[in-house]
Chains A and B, each alone.
Chain A
């Protein structure tokens, strides 16, 4: 009876040495004539424990982590027995509180299955959503998504059903489904984890979107910074096609749909939907004016559903469990679950999927265990580089789109970056402007010029050059960028800058020239 050992093939696990661990397990097993089957699963998202090695002991999966190559021999010595007092034994994976307290829906299969196994996918509920949707009229499919309350998980949080309805209503021969996998925000990796850990889920979500609105072609626009995700998804597409889930007459129905994987080229702005469309069309990623909305005139001028990975990956479950099931989770107008990503200077970082409503404090301390450095957490940036920096006084804010907007912050794609008290918030504010300048598409003046001027103004403040006047100038500049920019890059860069000024004014005193 072959011992099944799971070693994740996921970018974070690999970054911590998982491939070397898998290879060592293989070679020790061979040397000791132990019959093992190594399964390269997706990551469970308990990133501080990667590489997290699991063993199937018949009555459940037991975990060990973080495992290094030097730990492998010792694991074989104890026969992977869970009861052994191995210093890195974690017990039953399902019982780990950090995991058990989550509401894993979108990430249900992550870490459990072999991401590329169609059998595993089917066995854990895969394709059931699509099969249910195939029995429904397009208007009913869209209605169910609308009733679920699903909002775009990329950051704008626009009601998904309204977007799909708009595309369905267009009379056009050619429509497209575009998946925005340009997950450029620092502190975010949920899109990557789904593509690497449960790629068929994304394919299934895109299929449901396609039959809902009448599209026969889809694109996934994936960052060039995610090479493993590219390899995994390429293979997933190939297997899905071979099994009749993509191509002509899907599963012997009248529907045709295929997906083309396209790779970005290092431009953060291509995460903005219209810039992404420009890039797909072979142009510089410049932002388009809206209207027209992509739902009406999108890719190649055709009606296009463009949604984030998590939005699409959340769809199949709505067609397995129903709209009310999804809508019943959450708070306020934030319905369903959010895969939150806890990152930066945090002891226990990773993927935390919960219904909306948990507080930032609970995430930072109960899940996260406080900072990795052991020093006090001083500032937390939620929502990526365009999100506000929040001090401890705001840690009771619940994870909810409107609660964050109410404090001039942004929930965005759900990434949380933690900083301890060694952070220099004026330096962070400067980086916000610097990043905007580097990534600006250049089309509108407030962003293109304002970001460069913003760096200069902050440098003057930090040098003590007319600090008060320059602080006022900085606020005025932020006002211009906020109200005058064509898109959220220029428009929201002021959020982190103004939050730094508001909550951490002491950091904007003059520093010596040597530091600058």
Chain B
């Protein structure tokens, strides 16, 4: 995935799944019954294993659940959680909702976008951080909040978020 480019949306020209990716997709599909109602659990299984849902997994999913590729694509593209391109080493989700706004989230968002040089659903040029928007982490009395790789951080300030980003870059 090219750094600095928007990663949302599927691409017809996407690379074929490599054998490791293919195996993980097949395994995720096989963990669930082959019914349409299992589609979201399957998509979660794939994204949990690979960090995203490769566009070329769509025909495999569609075939297993006896759905059209358009239907599967429609579900993936509907839900904000699923991404169609590999993220950077870390995913930083900033909360943009009202309680966080009331405690200065907009200024933090501005600062992060400017520091990393990217917008939402983009990855920093060094590949360390993918930035995403999230609407409420349920940490509203300890705002502003962000989620860094599944861990919620509250009472954010520009200093705190800078330290979190520094941590991503040091850890790699």
Contact residues of A with B, CB < 8 Å? 11-12, 14-16, 47-48, 50, 183-189, 192, 223-228, 262-268, 279-285, 300, 341-346, 349-350, 372, 381, 385, 415, 417-420, 423, 428, 431, 435, 438-439, 441
Contact = CB atoms under 8 A, between A and B. Distances in A.
Contact of A265 (B82, B100, B139, B151): B82
Interface stretch (B11-19, B84-92, B111-119, B140-148): B140-148
Contacts of A188: 136, 138, 140
B135 A184 contact: yes
Contacts of B98: 186-187, 344, 381, 385, 417, 428, 431
B35 A282 contact: yes
Contacts of B99: 186-187, 343-344, 415, 417
B97 A11 contact: no
Given A14-B152, A15-B153, A186-B135, A262 B141 contact: no
Interface residues of B, number: 42
A350 B138 CA distance: 11
A151 B111 CA distance: 43
Nearest to B95: A186
B44 A16 contact: no
B140 A282 contact: no
A313 to B, nearest CB: 16
29 contacts: A11-B152, A12-B138, A12-B141, A12-B142, A15-B145, A15-B155, A47-B141, A48-B141, A50-B142, A186-B97, A187-B140, A188-B136, A188-B140, A189-B141, A223-B138, A224-B44, A226-B138, A262-B40, A263-B40, A264-B40, A266-B79, A266-B81, A267-B81, A344-B99, A346-B141, A415-B140, A431-B98, A438-B135, A439-B135
B78 A285 contact: yes
B141 A350 contact: yes
Nearest to A269: B78
Question: Max chain A CB contacts within 10 Å: which of B38, B80, B102, B135?
Answer: B102
Contacts of A419: 102
A262 B41 contact: yes
B138 A344 contact: no
Given A284-B74, A417-B102, A344 B140 contact: yes
Given A267-B79, A344-B103, A183 B138 contact: yes
B36 interface: yes
A428 B134 CA distance: 17
B30 interface: no
Nearest to A441: B78
A192 B41 CA distance: 20
B81 A224 contact: yes
A435 B135 CA distance: 9
A280 B37 contact: yes
B58 interface: no
A514 B21 CA distance: 47
Contacts of A264: 40, 79, 81
Question: Max chain B CB contacts within 10 Å: which of A15, A226, A372, A385?
Answer: A15
Contacts of B38: 282
A496 to B, nearest CB: 9
Contact of A11 (B65, B103, B139): B139
Contacts of B43: 265
B39 interface: yes
Given A14-B151, A417-B140, 11 more contacts: A12-B138, A186-B136, A188-B136, A265-B40, A265-B79, A265-B81, A265-B82, A266-B80, A283-B39, A342-B141, A344-B102
Given A266-B79, A343-B99, A417-B98, A225 B134 contact: yes
Contact of A189 (B78, B102, B140, B153): B140
B10 interface: no
Interface string B1-43: 0000000000000000000000000000000000111111101
A417 B37 CA distance: 36
B150 interface: yes
Contact of B142 (A16, A285, A420): A16
B158 interface: no
Contacts of A12: 138-139, 141-142, 152, 154
B105 to A, nearest CB: 10
B79 A189 contact: no
A7 B79 CA distance: 35
A357 B74 CA distance: 45
A184 B135 CA distance: 7
B165 interface: no
The 6 closest A-B pairs by CB, nearest first: A349-B141, A265-B79, A15-B154, A343-B140, A186-B97, A47-B141
B62 to A, nearest CB: 12
Given A279-B40, A283-B36, A265 B141 contact: no
A186 B79 contact: no
A145 to B, nearest CB: 27
B49 interface: no
Interface in B98-138: 98-103, 134-138
A420 B98 CA distance: 12
B61 to A, nearest CB: 11
A280 B35 CA distance: 11
A189 B138 contact: yes
A142 to B, nearest CB: 28
A188 B95 CA distance: 14
A459 to B, nearest CB: 16
Nearest to A285: B78
A309 to B, nearest CB: 12
B37 A282 contact: yes
A48 B143 CA distance: 10
Interface string B39-66: 1110110000000000000000000010
A180 to B, nearest CB: 15
B101 A431 contact: yes
Nearest to A283: B75
Question: Max chain A CB contacts within 10 Å: which of B44, B98, B136?
Answer: B98
Interface in B144-172: 145, 147, 150-155
Contacts of B44: 224, 263, 265
Nearest to B76: A265
Contacts of B39: 282-283
